[in-house]
A and B are shown apart, each in its own frame.
Chain A
Amino acid sequence: QSALTQPASVSGSPGQSITISCTGTRTDVGGYNYVSWYQQHPGKAPKLIIHDVTIRPSGVSNRFSGSKSGNTASLTISGLQAEDEADYYCTSYTTSIYVIFGGGTKLTVL
């Protein structure tokens, strides 16, 4: 099973909003409301920022939001800040191999 498809890179200026897409199939993203997103700074472990498509864990900034339409999930970061520069990964539950990851997106804050 191939990885979920994410753009390799996105960029934005401070204060702007950006959206990262995560495209799968009806057997993963489209079939379940079990998409999660992780933020990873260089040399650090990933950090959960969204689970179950839209739910933000306690302590995560409300500038991060998630959504899903069909086989594509999206992470939106509003009011972009320098500290948001990181790699972002999506995952989805799938019955075939439990979970599948996206390839990751590098966010650059200009």
Chain B
Amino acid sequence: QVQLQESGPGLVKPSQTLSLTCSVSGGSISSGDSYWSWIRQPPGKGLEFIGYISYSGNTYYKPSFKSRLSISADTSKNHFSLKLTSVTAADTAVYYCVRAVDGGWFDPWGQGTLVTVSS
């Protein structure tokens, strides 16, 4: 059974880079048909898809993040990472790492990690 766990700083200063890692257990990130994704949820608000890196290393970024976003994977450590540059208070959210499959449904989800952007 695949499990995901986010890790990274809970506090980032404005204009700096938000970096998170998602450790995957119970399955390989190189396995076919998996799209290793990031989704975020600002406090009290809804869910927003950010982007993914596929099992083959291809990436997709939601256009509104494209200029600031990088998602990468380390198959030797079986984890994938998110870097979001030039953050503002609007980037404060719970960030979830999730596996997506063809058709765009998400399962399983990590527990989520709150990242606050504040000086």
Residues of A in contact with B (beta carbons under 8 Å apart)? 3, 32, 34, 36, 38, 45-48, 51-52, 57, 89, 91-93, 97-104
The number of residues on chain B lying at the interface, defined by a beta carbon within 8 Å of a beta carbon of chain A, is 20
- Assess the A52–B105 pair: CB atoms within 8 A: yes
Can you name 18 A-B pairs with beta carbons within 8 Å?
A: A32-B103, A36-B104, A36-B105, A36-B106, A38-B47, A46-B47, A46-B109, A47-B109, A51-B107, A93-B104, A97-B49, A98-B104, A99-B100, A101-B47, A101-B48, A102-B46, A103-B46, A104-B46
- Assess the A97–B46 pair: CB atoms within 8 A: no
The residues of B that contact A92 with a CB separation of less than 8 Å are 104
Q: For residue A3, which residue of chain B has the nearest CB?
A: B46
The residues of B that contact A51 with a CB separation of less than 8 Å are 103, 105, 107
Chain B: interface secondary structure? strand
Interface residue from A36, A57, A89 paired with B46 (Cβ < 8 Å)? A89
Chain A: interface secondary structure? strand
Interface residue from B47, B52, B60 paired with A89 (Cβ < 8 Å)? B47
Interface centre among B48, B103, B106 (most CB of A within 10 A): B103
B45 vs chain A, min Cβ distance (A): 8
Cα-based distance from A101 to B45 in the complex (angstroms): 12
- Assess the A34–B103 pair: CB atoms within 8 A: yes
Q: For residue B109, which residue of chain A has the nearest CB?
A: A45
- Assess the B107–A57 pair: CB atoms within 8 A: yes
The residues of B that contact A93 with a CB separation of less than 8 Å are 103-104
Q: For residue A33, which residue of chain B has the nearest CB?
A: B103
Q: For residue B62, which residue of chain A has the nearest CB?
A: A97
The residues of B that contact A46 with a CB separation of less than 8 Å are 47, 96, 106, 109
The residues of A that contact B100 with a CB separation of less than 8 Å are 99
Q: For residue A48, which residue of chain B has the nearest CB?
A: B107
In the complex, whether B32 has a CB less than 8 A from a CB of chain A is no
Residues of B46-65 contacting chain A, CB below 8 A:
46-49, 52, 60, 62-63
The residues of B that contact A102 with a CB separation of less than 8 Å are 46
A42 vs chain B, min Cβ distance (A): 11
